[in-house]
């Protein structure tokens, strides 16, 4: 498992909380009504945060987490504060061999993702770049 300290990733960690993101795998089997057992291997991200709840400052937020069939995984979060920061985007990429990259540019835009209930897109496209900050 890989743990990433959000203090290293975030520009404004006090507003977004203290904690870390942990990439990992849920691995096991499941079956329904004594049926055939199916093996699960689900990659994902667990976000661990602690301290006082900072949700009162939040206007809105969206998190996009994706896992490619090659094993490449990424997560992007765009947030907007009620007072202060109007738009901050943070994220990171984990390559299959363990190399991590901090997202340093991203076109994820909260105003384009449904400022109101009548303006929610069916599909979105996101472009981002990252820089390597660790080697495996």
Q: pLDDT in tens for each of the 136 residues of the chain?
A: 444 444 444 444 444 457 777 888 888 888 888 889 989 888 788 777 776 666 677 788 888 888 888 888 899 988 888 887 788 888 888 888 888 888 988 998 888 776 777 777 788 888 988 887 655 4
Encode 9-26: b = buried (16+ Cβ within 10 Å), e = exposed.
bbeeeeebbeebbebeee
Cβ atoms of 1 and 21 within 8 Å: the answer is no
Task: Look at the pTM and tell me if it is higher than 0.75.
Answer: no
pLDDT score at 48: 77
């Amino acid at each position: 498992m890989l743990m990433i300290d959000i203090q290293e990733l975030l520009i404004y960690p006090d507003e977004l909380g203290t904690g870390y993101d942990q990439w990992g795998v849920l691995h096991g089997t499941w079956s329904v009504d004594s049926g055939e057992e199916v093996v699960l291997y689900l990659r994902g991200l667990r976000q661990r945060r602690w301290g006082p709840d900072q949700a009162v400052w939040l206007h809105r937020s969206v998190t996009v987490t994706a896992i490619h069939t090659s094993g490449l995984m990424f997560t992007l979060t765009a947030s907007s504060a009620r007072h202060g920061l109007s738009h901050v985007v943070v994220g990171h990429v984990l390559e299959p061999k363990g190399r991590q990259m901090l997202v340093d540019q991203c076109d994820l835009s909260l105003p384009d993702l449904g400022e109101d209930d009548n303006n929610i897109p069916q599909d979105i496209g996101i472009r981002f770049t990252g820089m390597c900050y660790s080697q495996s």
